[in-house]
Structure formats: C-alpha cells, structure tokens
Amino acid sequence: MTNVLAQELIKGVAPLNFSGLYSKDFLNTWDKTQEELKAILLIAKILKNFRESNLSSKIFDSGLAISIFRDQSTRTRFSFVSACNLLGLLPVDFDEKKSQIAHGETLRETANMISFMAEVIGVRDDMFIGVGEKYMKDISNAVKDGFDNGIIEQLPILINLQSDVDHPTQCMSDLLHLTEYFGGFENLKGKKIAVTWAYSPSYGKPLSVPQGIIGLMTRFGMDVTLAHPKGYDLLPDVITKAYENVKNFGGSFNRTEKMEEAFDSADIVYPKSWAPFEAMKKRSEFFLKGDMKAVETLEKELLNENAKYKDWTCTEAYMKKTKNGKALYMHCLPADINGVGCKEGEVEASVFERYRKNLYKEASFKPYIIAAMIFLAKIKNPLDVLTKILTKNYKRIKH
C-alpha cells in the first residue's frame, strides 16, 4: 500500500497495449511492438522493485520451467533459474543427447513428453546459422500441437535464450540498462551507439548479440553505427530490419569498416567479437554433412583472418575519441580482456575495469527481464495481479 514507486510504475504500464504478449513465444524483439517491449521493461522494473521491497512475486504454486541449453551458459542459465524461482516455477534442465533428438519426429515427441506440466521452455541454440531459430520453432509448434489436441494441459511458451538470430533476454537487459543509465526512453533519442566487431583469439563467437543490438536499438531513435572489418557481415535480414526500423522510428543506421569512425563521438560503445555470417553458414553445412575435416580447415582460416584485425580492440585511445571521452562501454560478458584472459582480445584491461560495475549492473537486469517475459506471457491480467501483490503485501522473506 505504501510502495509509491511500484504504484507509479504500474500506472505507467496501464496505457500500453501489450495484450499481444499473452500466450505467445518470445523469439526476436522485432516480432514485438514498441509498447510491448516497453511493457516488458516496466514489468521488469516492477518485479525488481517488489523484490527490493521484500514482496513475494510467486504467482505460481507449482509448474515446471524447462531449459534446453545446446551451448554452454552461466549467466543466462542462472538468470533463467532465478526468474523462474522468483515466480514460483521449478526450473528443470533437459539434458538432450544431440543424436537422440536430432530428427524431427523425435523432437516433436520429446517436446510433448517433457511438457505435460511445463509453463515455460527456455532454449539456447546459438551456434549454427539457420538452425537455432528453426529448432525453437519446431519445439514451439510441437507443444502447440500437443496443447491443441488436449495432450498438454497448459500451453508452454518458449523463450529464446539465444538463437543464431537474436539474443532478446540479453538485448532487453542492455536496453533496460541504457534507460536507467540515461534516465528514461526519451533520453535515448539521438544517442550514438557504436556496435563494433572486436578481435578475439577464440574462434566463432555467435552473431546474435550484435544482431540483437542493431535490431533493437534502431527502434528507439538511436543513431546506431555498425563497424566491422570487410567480410564480417551479419545476417542480411537483420541488416534490412535495422534500416526499416530507422524508417519507422527515426534515428539512423550507419555502417563502416573503421572502428574509429564508429567510436567517434559515440555515447555508447559495444565492441564484441563475432564470426562472419557466410563462414558460419558454411560451417553449419559442413557439420550437418559430418565433414569435420572441412570444419577444422575453416576454423584455421577464420583464426588466421581474425588475426589480421588485432587492432580492433577497445583501447583507451579509442575511448578518448568518444563523446567527451566518456562513452558507456557495454558487453554481454564474458569479455576477452587484453592481458587477463588472453594476450590480445576485445578490450584493454583498464577500460574494462573502469566499467566493471556498469557491466555487472547491465547483466543484473536479465533475471527480471526473463521474469517479465514470463509474467506477461502467462498472466492474462498482469496489472490486476501486480496490484494484488502490492495489496496482499506477502513477504518474500519472513523476517
């Protein structure tokens, strides 16, 4: 009753049209409207405020939240577990044996067999171009079919925990971080963000983060500059999406092959390594054919190619070129820090260290973003439920 901030935040959500989120998967940010994305950010803030006020947001008394990680994960895994636990769902990891679930028939069956009491399915499949998102859609279609046929009692919604296309829980956390850092959505307008490739001695980092960032930040009137060496292209469809966003929502989208050009007067920099789209596509094809020798050869070529661009690293010198020399440095973590985890990498140690607290803060929003996505997809009248939580004043810790 006395939580004024939460009440104001709830009022802020009320005028938004976010009914389209109900009972729907979250695959890519560009499938959602501006108002829907804003609603997610606001609900994330409300759930954060609730937890800080020791209010319980446990809306589920039982129910499973299944995760399928086809690639290693630490922060997204723990963010998912934290979000589900906050809402009362039991996180259960499905440890897939790749061979068993590989062909379509088994995937459909397995998806149903594990989902009888699942409210949410979180999936990471980020490495293979043209595969990750398809895998998520196959699972989603399988459980929808099961729901429609009365096999699964409730429709589990799928949350993309990083595909080959987008990494929405990361990018939405990044966006929430930016709104908090700059003091609201309105202040993002006209801000220049440099999304740049950076050198890494490790090969084949996913493209989903830079893709997600240019696909999302171009929607809020920001000036997005994408920089990478020749050949390190992102998915063409996402590039198209970025240009469309500029048309629809203002701001600008520019591309360059010079890192310093991107950094010039930037308010925000997001330097991060990734592998070229065409090479990753080839790699996926080799993998599917089982041609491991071709994969190996390709990896060597890519590492050699990478090594030509060791000067693509976020140095203090580059940082000086940014707006007042004080651009906000962002990264999805973990970063390859020069002289720390590797000899040469994405960022100079002094730059990273100066922004360390900001980076951890940026990451700390992810559990709330995931919780908000679940909340809005599973609860038909979210504002009523949030108001009830406030009124009931049920404590998370019984002090």
> Which residues lie near its own copies (CB under 8 A)?
48, 51-52, 56-64, 74-75, 78-79, 81-82, 85-88, 90-92, 94, 103, 105-106, 109-110, 112-114, 116-117, 146, 149-153, 333-334, 337, 340-341, 357, 360-361, 363-364, 366-367, 378-381, 385, 388, 394-399
276 or 367: CB nearest its own copies: 367
170 or 218: CB nearest its own copies: 170
- Least distance (Å) between residue 148 CB and its own copies: 10
- Least distance (Å) between residue 292 CB and its own copies: 23
Backbone angles phi, psi at 336, to 5 degrees: -85, 105
32 or 378: CB nearest its own copies: 378
- Least distance (Å) between residue 150 CB and its own copies: 7
CB-based contact 46:6 (threshold 8 Å): yes
133 or 336: CB nearest its own copies: 336
- Least distance (Å) between residue 391 CB and its own copies: 12
From the number of C-beta atoms within 10 Å of its C-beta (0-12, 13-18, 19+), residue 12 rates as middle
Q: Sheet containing 223-227: which strands, arranged edge to edge? A: 252-256, 223-227, 192-197, 268-272, 328-329
CB-based contact 211:234 (threshold 8 Å): yes
Q: How far apart are CA 285 and CA 274, in angstroms?
A: 18
115 or 284: CB nearest its own copies: 115
13 or 87: CB nearest its own copies: 87
Q: How far apart are CA 176 and CA 170, in angstroms?
A: 10
Note if the bond before 334 is cis, omega within 30 degrees.
Answer: yes
What is the chain's Cα-based Rg? 21
- Least distance (Å) between residue 32 CB and its own copies: 22
364: number of Cβ within 10 Å: 15
- Least distance (Å) between residue 170 CB and its own copies: 13
Q: How far apart are CA 323 and CA 192, in angstroms?
A: 9
CB-based contact 28:168 (threshold 8 Å): yes
Q: Sheet containing 64-69: which strands, arranged edge to edge? A: 90-93, 64-69, 118-124, 157-160
- Least distance (Å) between residue 315 CB and its own copies: 18
CB-based contact 29:216 (threshold 8 Å): yes
136: left (phi over 0), alpha (psi -120 to 50) or beta: alpha
324 or 391: CB nearest its own copies: 391
- Least distance (Å) between residue 85 CB and its own copies: 5
78 or 203: CB nearest its own copies: 78
